[in-house]
Every structure is written in C-alpha cells, then in structure tokens.
Amino acid sequence: MPNASAPLWKKNLPVLWACTFVAGIAFSEVGPFLSLFIDELGTFSQRQLSFYSGLVFAVTFLVTAFMAPVWGRLANVRGHKIIMFFTALGMGVTYILTGMVHNVWLLFLGRALIGAFSGYIPNAQALIAGQVPRAMSGRILGIIMTGSTSGFLIGPVLGGVLAHLFSIRATFYITGVILFLVAIASLVFVEEPREEKSGKAVTATRGRGLLKQFANPKLIIVLLCSTLIVQLGNSSIFPIISLYVKQLMHGHGAITVVAGIISALPGISNILAAPRLGSYGDRHGSGRVLIAGYLFAVLVYMPQGLVTSLVVLGVLRFFVGISDAALFPTIQTLLTKNAPTGTLSSVFAWNQSFQALGSMFGSLFGGVISGLFGYNVVFMTTAALLALNLLILWLTEPSLRKSRRAQA
C-alpha cells in the first residue's frame, strides 16, 4: 500500500465520488414524494398529512443523530471502508422492506431503521479528509461533496419519473438495489491502509474528551450548531416541497415529475459552485465564504414564500444550491482545518449528528408551521432562522470575519 497520503487520496477520490453519487441518488429518490406516499396509506386532512410527513421525516434523523457517533467510533477502530459497506448494505435491505408497508406507522418504523444505518456519505468524506493535504482540503472536500450533491440532483428527477411511470412504492425497491451496488463497490474498490485506523486516537478521544483536543473548542461548537441550523432550514422545506408544488399546480399535471425537477435544481448550482467556493476559501479564508453564504441564503429563502409561479420558484431554488455550496462544504472544511487528524472520524460523526438533528427539527418545524399557517410561511421563518444563525456567528466567533485566522 502507498505510504504517502496524496497518491492514496487521488486513487480513492474518483471511486468515492462515484459511490457517493450513486448513494446520493438512492437517498433522494423517495424523499420528495414521501408525503405523497403517506397520502396513499390512508385518508388524512391537510393538517394530518403535514404532521405525519414531518414526523416520518423526523424519525430518520433522530435515530441518525444517536447512531452517528457510534459509527464514528466504529470507524476509528475498524476503518471507514467496512463501515461504509455495512451502512449501505443495511440501508438497502431497509429500503426494500419499507417499500412493502401499508400503514403510516410501519413507514415510521422503516424510516427509523433507515436512520440507524445512515452514515455512508459522512464516512466517505471523513476518509478523504484524513488523507488529503490540509492546504487542499477546501477544494477536495468541495469536490467530494459534489458527488453526493449531484446524486441528490439526479435522484428526485429519476424518482419522479419512476413514480410517475410505475409507483412510489416501486421506487423504494429500486433504491434498495442501488444501495447494494454501492456496498459492493465500496468493499472492492476503496483502499484504506491499516495504519490509519488508530486505536490510540480512539483512546485519546475517549479519555480526554473530544473538545479538549482542539485549540479553539468554541469554534468547533459554533460550527456544529451552524450545521444544525443550516440543515434545519433545508429540511423544513423538504417535507412540503411536493405539496407546495401541488398547490401551485392546483392539483393537476405530472406533479411528481415537476416536484422532482424543483427539488433537483439546487443540486445543479451546488455542483457548479462548491469546488470554486472551496478553492476561494483555501486562498482567501473559509470564514469569508461562510458569512457570504448566510447572507445570500437569507436573500433567496424569503421570497420563495411569496411566489405564485413555478418558474420563479425554480429560479430561487437554483440559487439555494449556491448558498448550500458556500455553507456545508465550508463548515466541514473549517472543522477539518481546526481538528487534529486523529479526531476527524469523531468530528465528522458529530457533524453528522448535528446535521441529523437539524433534519429532524426541520422536518417537524416544516410540518407544524405549514399545518398551522400554510406552506409559504415555512420559507419566511427559515430565512429568519438563517439570519439569526449569521448573527450568532458574527458575535461569537469574530475570527471568521478575517481572511485566514480561522484556518490555522
């Protein structure tokens, strides 16, 4: 096996990009239409449908939040590769079983099991983050994140076409098969040297506490909380986007196809913007990219609740992808640049936990707000939350305003 990290990450990067691309497709094929699937499982009022949609979305991420640190500790001991294999395999089996359910509570249980096996993409990102030179981490993490992002882009469109041609239920089965392929590819093609699985690092993390190993623990906490809030904003929209599209289309037409396209648009701009913003952050400061990303996000979320045209909604959702490209990879880059190498598995696991909590609270938030006040209010309150997060960052961590101080 190669001794230098650079040749190894160069070999793993295209493999992991392809695997996270396919995994992204699998993870996003069903999501935008889950509320429509729930509607097929019973007779519900709009308030009940919004509530159940939020609940079914939320349980996946609640379980993920508890399981992510477990997968992180196991990755420290056993390696990322084997964890990637088991999480993809377990989720594939669960998706197939979930496609067989016929009531909302069995769907709830299936989504909980999906959350238990979530962990493939963060482990792939952590593996690359531990191998790539720190000076290039912004650009390379931006590239690896475009794999899953482009998969999330294709997934809703592919899922929408499959749901329109066959059924939403059939999409669950196809998703399971795709995840089996991801598991096999990870086992066969990904390389991870034994020397990178440091039991010593695990012992140190457990013994001294994770935060004590960082030069700036306050920055780590602020970044993790920012992950939660940004994901809360994204997830508050996700459960209701197909219902919002259905409302704008007055219940007529190929709703699943249009909802899939609208859901996919942020991925297009994300793919174009993420590597470029990552490279800019490496040269001029990731903190600047983060602050600008928040400002842009607030500006594009607010008017989404006021639109009456699908075209305008699509344009604004496209702009959301640019803000996501500035926020998610930059937060992970700042975590990578401010974390000792031996803690990266734990840091990425905790980041996934906070992201999962954001998804859970966002799903519940979107379901409750849309049920009480309507779909448009969800977009406006999401903009307000992101503005609050920006204010917290500005006041608590002034180093992020500087060019390179937060990257040491």
174 located within any domain = yes
Per-residue pLDDT reduced to its tens digit, 292-350: 899 999 999 999 888 888 888 889 999 998 998 888 888 888 887 777 766 766 777 78
In sign, the C-alpha dihedral spanning 312, 315, 317, 323 is negative
Give the residue-averaged pLDDT of 384-404: 79
- The whole model's pTM is what? 0.70
pLDDT, position 144: 83
Residue 198 lies in a domain: no
Whether 32 maps to a domain, the answer reads: yes
Top-confidence residue, 117 or 160: 117
> Is 1 contained in some domain?
no
Task: Write the Ramachandran bin of 101: left for phi over 0, alpha for psi from -120 to 50, otherwise beta.
Answer: beta
| Inside any domain, residue 176 | yes
Residue 389's closest CA among 221, 226, 234, 218?
226
Instruction: Identify whether 199 is part of a domain.
Output: no
Average pLDDT over residues 198-217: 56
Q: Give the per-residue pLDDT at 205.
A: 45
What percentage of the chain carries pLDDT values higher than 70? 88
Looking at residue 1, what is its pLDDT? 42
Q: What is the CATH number of the domain that holds 311?
A: 1.20.1250.20
2 located within any domain: no
Mean pLDDT score of the chain = 80
Residues 45-65 have a mean pLDDT of 80
For 88-132, the pLDDT digits (tens) are 999 999 999 999 999 999 999 999 998 899 888 888 888 887 778
**3 state SS of 216:** coil
Give pLDDT, residue 331: 86
Residue 184 has pLDDT above 80, yes or no: yes
Whether 323 and 382 have beta carbons less than 8 Å apart is answered as: no
pLDDT attached to residue 94: 94
pLDDT surpasses 50 at 207: no
Tally of structural domains, the chain? 1
Q: What is the pLDDT of residue 203?
A: 44
The secondary structure of 120-185 as a DSSP string is HHHHHHHHHHHHS-GGGHHHHHHHHHHHHHHHHHHHHHHHHHHHHHT-HHHHHHHHHHHHHHHHHH
CB atoms within 10 A of CB 166: 12
Where residue 407 falls among pLDDT bands split at 50, 70, 90? very low
Q: Is residue 386 part of a domain?
A: yes
Q: What is the predicted pLDDT for the residue at 78?
A: 85
**Could you tell me the residue range of the domain that residue 241 belongs to?**
9-193+209-407
